[in-house]
Structures are given as C-alpha cells and as structure tokens.
Amino acid sequence: MIKKYKKHILIISIFKLLILFLLPLTGDEAYFIKWANNLSTGYYDHPPMVGWLIYLMQYIKNDYIIFRLFSFFTVFIVSYLIYKILLEFNIKKENAIFPALLFIFMPIDILILLFTNDIPLLLFGLLGTYFLLKSFKTNIYTNAILSGIFLGFSFLSKYFVSFLMLGLLIYILIIYRKKAVKNIIIIFLIVLIFILQNLYFNYNSCWNNIMFNFFARTENLEYNMKTLFGYIFILMYLITPWGIYYIYKSKENINNKKLFVFILSAISIGLSIFLVVSLKKKIGLHWLLLFMPYIFMLFSFIKEKYKIKFIKYNLIFTYIHITVLMVILLMPLKQFEYNKKYKSIILFTKTNKICNQLESYKNLYTTGYTSASLLSYHCKKDIKMIMNNSKYGRLDDKLVNIKELENKTIYIFNKNEPNIKELNKIFENVRIDSFKVMNKLFYISKCENLKYNEYKKEYLDIQKERFYDIPSWLPIGECYFYNRYYK
C-alpha cells in the first residue's frame, strides 16, 4: 500500500517543506523561542518542554526553520507509531498501515508545521503509550521505564496528557487487572518525578501554570452554543464526514474488542471534558492533536472496499488545503492592503524592515507579547512587554521589574497609534514619532520618567487581582510578583 502512494507522500512532503519555509514566524513560536532564550524550570503559561527542546536545537542553529523540522519529522514518527501500536493488537499489517497512511494524508498534517508545545505533547504522549503496551509483552522494566519517561516528557509539554494517562490507566486495569500493578507502580513513580518538578516550580513561581490554566483562562465564561457546535465541527473536520460514514458502514468489522476498548479508553475522557468545556469556551483545533492518532486507529476496522475511496477523498481534501495555503503565501503583500489586519501582516512578514527602523533604540518595549517576541527574534535584541493587562504571554512579568524603571526613559513600539492620555498617566513626558513600512505608519513613543505609583495602580494592582490572587489553600514558597511589589 505504501508503494502505491509513495508519489503522494513525496509530493505532500515537498509542499509541506515549501510551506514550512514560506510561512512567517508566528507569535506563539516566537514566544516559545523567548522561553528558550530565558531558560527556566518552568514558564508562566505551560510546563517547559517546548522551551527546553528549542534551547537544545539552538545548538544546531538558532533558526525557526530548524525548530519546525522537528514538527515535520514528528508526523512520520507518529504515523509509524500508529502502525506499531496496531501491530501490538495483532492487526494485520495492511490494516495497520492504512490508518498510518491516512494520518499523513489528512489536512491537519499540513498544519503540523508550527513548533508549539502541542508537538512534543503529541510525540511523547504516543511514545509513552507505545512503550506502555510493550511493557506487558517483553522487557517489563525497560519498557515501563521508557513509558514513564516519555509520559513525563509529555506532562512537561502540556497538562492535557493527564486525560490520556487516566484513560490508559482505566484500559490496563480493565484488561490486565492484577497483572498491571507492577507496570503501574514503575510508570507512576517515574511520572511522579516530572509532576513533582512542575509542582516545585509552581510553588516557587506564584503557581503560574495553575493560576493561568485553571483561573485566568476560565474567567468570565458564559454558556455559548456556538462554541459547542464549533467543537463538533472541528471533530467532524478532523475525522472527516466520509471517515465517520465509513466507520459506520464497517461497524461489523469492529471485532477486536481489546483494540476497541483501548481506543475508547484513550480518547473518551479527553473528548468528554472538551465537550463540557466547549459549552462555555472555544475549543482550538490544536487541543485535539494529542488524541488524533488514537481516533485514526479506528480506521483499521474500515472494510477493504472503502479504503481506496477513503484515501482518495483525503488526498483531495489535503491538496485543496495545500493549494489554498500556497496561493495565500505567494500572493503579493499589497493584495491585503485594505484588510483591517494589514499592519499585523506587515509585522509578521516584513519584520526585518521594522527592525531596521528600531535599530538605534535602546530600552525598547512593546505593549503585546506577540510583537515583543517577534521583534526580539528578528531584531536580535531583548524586547519586552509593558503596559498590558492581558492574561496571555505574561513571561515578562518575571523578566521586567517595573520598580527598576522608575524615573527612567524607555521607548515603546506600537503598530497602531498609541493612546497619549494613557501614556501621560504613567510617564511625565511623552513624545510620539512614527515611521513607514509598506506605506503604513508604525509608532515609537519616547517615554520619560516612569511614575511607579501610577503604573502600579493602572497595571500591577489589576494584574495582582487577575493573575496572582493565589487561593489560600495553595502553599506559597516564593512569588516574584509579591516579593517585588507587595512586600
């Protein structure tokens, strides 16, 4: 089967590499590069794995293209692991190859190019699962230890893996019962090391991950049927309508109960929790990435007569995505001139031109984590965020001590005209200059003598209430925010 579709694998891979090179650095990728440049045992938003991996890959070359190649090769490793896991359940080779091939031919595969924390989550989560299953057949200690390490790596990528680990625990207790005790103990003790590392970081860092993921991200949420239907749409988009149809038409082929229980155990907790969350919050496409390999394993049950059509429809769907992306990426920038996001497009695509204008400025800041991260990477200078009360991208809360800026002069970059009244509240003197890139104005504000007490009232006090109001039931070791501003 692979020989038959080798040409398509090659064509899709070539286009993926083209897209990988043509697609500008994204805000999230730049933000994670900033993590790597400020190496730590943890970060505000999530556990640290993606930052650690970028830090290591910088020894090859400090280039986001190199980082994206990790994502590019991850797809093939994941595809191979789907095949290997299915063989563990005594699925015929041809039937095991089919879903592995489909994974390469699905549209989401085109989007697995950006190097974000979802990529190590996906890779390490699946590796942990594979070695878990292997531990019940051969080399119990070696495979259980490897499973624990990779599941631990996945935990340090994103907390979502907890849903997968709970599902896997349910599966092995159902299937292996008392025989599973030794495996569970080995894996648990190893994963516990990674959990304790993350807890220790949070204990000494204002409980950053907990405050962000369980409090800041869930504030002011209301029931919204649009987000529920959005979640259902995303599931249908990923599985495809014809995939759902062919699974239904092949339901009598679901005769490997052990595999079916494994798949259901792996995906049901995560997908159910996302369903509940979707009643109030928009579910991102990337949220489901961890569970996609297990969903695709269902396609090993597809009847032979549907397989060629299934691959054909997936290929068409994928080539449509490639065509649309290539057209957008190759379009002249001026085609977007009247788009309301044109300045943002310039910021992402012509960052070097902006950097040329900013070269002479020292003590440079921006008012958003995306622009701060992008400019830090492209301008090769440390640019931080200031005057921002957003719940996202708050790494600079730790990196910037506002007290040290009191009575200092700084420069602030804005892509839109800054609010002079807001600046005058915080600084004694403000002068706004502008420069043009692609006939659009960008702004630099020279801000003299920062008034700390005013800044504290307008920003720090609000941030304390929204992001650092740590519940009394959580013990606090150290908290950089309290230590700086509220002691």
| Structure token pair of residue 93 | 């080779």
Q: What is the pLDDT along the chain (487 residues), one digit of tens a residue?
A: 777 899 999 999 999 999 999 999 999 999 999 999 999 999 999 999 999 999 999 999 999 999 999 999 999 999 999 999 999 999 999 999 999 999 999 887 777 889 999 999 999 999 999 999 999 999 999 999 999 999 999 999 999 999 999 999 999 999 999 999 999 999 999 999 999 999 999 999 999 999 999 988 877 778 889 999 999 999 999 999 999 999 999 999 999 999 999 999 999 999 999 999 999 999 999 999 999 999 999 999 999 999 999 999 999 999 999 999 999 999 999 899 989 999 999 999 999 999 999 999 999 999 999 999 999 999 999 999 999 999 999 999 999 999 999 999 999 999 999 999 999 999 999 999 999 999 999 999 999 999 999 999 999 999 999 999 999 999 999 999 999 999 8
Contact residues for 348 (Cβ-Cβ < 8 A; gap 6+): 24, 25, 26, 27, 374
* pTM, rounded to two decimals: 0.96
| Structure token pair of residue 243 | 């995939």
Burial class (CB in 10 A: 0-12, 13-18, 19+), 471: exposed
CA distance linking residue 359 with residue 353, whole number of Å: 10
CA atoms within 13 A of residue 238's CA, in its CB half-sphere: 23
CA distance linking residue 216 with residue 214, whole number of Å: 6
Q: Rounded to 5 degrees, what are φ and ψ at 442?
A: -120, 160
Q: Say what the pLDDT of residue 108 is.
A: 78
Q: Sign of torsion, CA 25 30 33 37?
A: positive
CA distance linking residue 37 with residue 415, whole number of Å: 24
Q: Sign of torsion, CA 111 243 151 138?
A: negative
Q: Sign of torsion, CA 405 408 414 418?
A: positive
Q: Say what the pLDDT of residue 221 is.
A: 76
Question: How crowded is residue 164: how many other Cβ atoms within 10 Å of its Cβ?
Answer: 25
Q: Say what the pLDDT of residue 223 is.
A: 85
- For the CA atoms of 361, 365, 371, 377, the dihedral, rounded to the nearest 10 degrees, stands at 60
Question: For residue 100, how far is the Cα from the chain centroid?
Answer: 23
- For the CA atoms of 5, 7, 8, 14, the dihedral, rounded to the nearest 10 degrees, stands at 150
Angstrom CA distances, 294 to 100, 239, 291, 379, 440, stand at 11, 11, 6, 42, 47
Domain borders along the chain are 6-328, 342-485
| Structure token pair of residue 223 | 């029931």
CA distance linking residue 179 with residue 161, whole number of Å: 24
CA distance linking residue 175 with residue 177, whole number of Å: 6
